[in-house]
A and B are shown apart, each in its own frame.
Chain A
Amino acid sequence: MYLVKVYVTYKESILDPKGEAVNDALHRLGYTNVQSVVLGKYFELKLAASDRPLDAEVDELCDRLLANVNMETYRYEITEMEAL
């Protein structure tokens, strides 16, 4: 069993209005040293090993569903979970 942590964020060229709103709110709270905020999505997937390479499968499911590759980018970390 593997734990896959996937982080999806807008590409740098894409406007992130929600991140900007959070950035503005932090400034209003006095955290004026906050330079920027990126607001993305975080997924935890538990995958059983299959006959396919794991990273190929994760790439595919990210491309097909978790991220919209027109405007988003993703990265992930894979860790092997201890058998119960």
Chain B
Amino acid sequence: MKFAVPVFPGSNCDHDMVNALRDILNMPADLVPATTTNLDQYDAVILPGGFSYGDYLRSGAIARFAPVMTAVKAFAAAGKPVMGICNGFQILTEAGLLPGALQANRSSKFICQTSPLVVKNTTSQFTTAYEPNQQIQLPIAHGEGNYYCDEATLAELRAHQQILFEYVDNPNGSVANIAGIMNRQGNVLGMMPHPERAVETILGSTDGLGIFQSLIANQQQEVSHA
């Protein structure tokens, strides 16, 4: 299973992600430039955190039109797994691959802290390694992580178990304490917290490992059944 981590001008969590994948999880992973137009050789794509294109206009608004995003859309449409972390989540909402939007934190402050989360759905391919309603600790670091969607969209998210992670103490004002969601098809995940920064004891938490381990185990199982 091979991972692609697209690098946009202004991405800054791309190397953390590749470090987690290669050095901790022993998975092949490539940094691919935002100009890449073909992702055929990869089995999963992870859009990293950062401030793509300086967050000009809105977070993710310019990155959405980078050449690689055409390939990411085709990749997602083919049912292959796509994850977006932090700025990656913002890009996925701007691209229409996930519903809703990320707006400025309610406090107007950039928040950088470890936040407790509850894993709400443990049947998705991203979360099977966790126990139902397990509380985990992941770092957050964002100024615009306040998830917004309208009531109809929230009802849809709930009806199809698309809410994977909720904040315990909602630090940014997100609708329904939402920290991470997936699309209805279950192959696109977006979350503001940083699992790649919680993969080694020395980092303070290993609670982020479960997301990668879930995805890898479920994808490998799918391959062996194919």
Q: How far is the CA of A21 from the CA of B61 in the complex (A)?
A: 24
Residues from chain A with a CB closer than 8 A to the CB of B65 are 65
Instruction: Kindly provide the distance from the CB of A52 to the nearest chain B CB, expressed in whole angstroms.
Output: 20
Q: Mark A40-84, 1 if CB is under 8 A from B, else 0.
A: 010000000000000000000000011010110000000000000
CB distance from A38 to the nearest CB of B (A): 14
Does chain B have a CB within 8 A of A17? yes
The reply to whether B149 and A70 contact each other, CB–CB distance below 8 Å, is yes
Whose C-beta in chain A lies nearest to the C-beta of B99? Answer: A70
Residues of chain B contacted by A34 (CB below 8 angstroms): none
Give the total number of A-B pairs whose CB atoms are below 8 A apart: 34
Chain A interface, number of residues (Cβ within 8 angstroms): 13
**With A66-B57, A68-B58: A17-B100 Cβ-Cβ less than 8 Å:** no
A-B pairs, top 8 by smallest CB distance, nearest first, are A70-B101, A17-B108, A17-B104, A71-B101, A21-B108, A68-B101, A71-B148, A68-B58
Q: Which chain B residues (99-126) contact chain A, with CB distance < 8 Å?
A: 100-101, 103-108
Measured between beta carbons, the chain B residues less than 8 angstroms from A17 are 104-108
B interface residues, tally (CB under 8 Å): 19
Nearest CB of chain B from residue A10's CB, rounded to whole Å = 8
A77 CA to B94 CA, complexed, in Å: 26
Give complex CA distance A17, B102 in Å.
13
Closest B residue by C-beta to A65: B61
State the Cβ distance, B56 to closest chain A Cβ, in Å. Answer: 11
Which one of A18, A65, A68 lies within 8 Å of B104 (CB-CB)?
A: A18
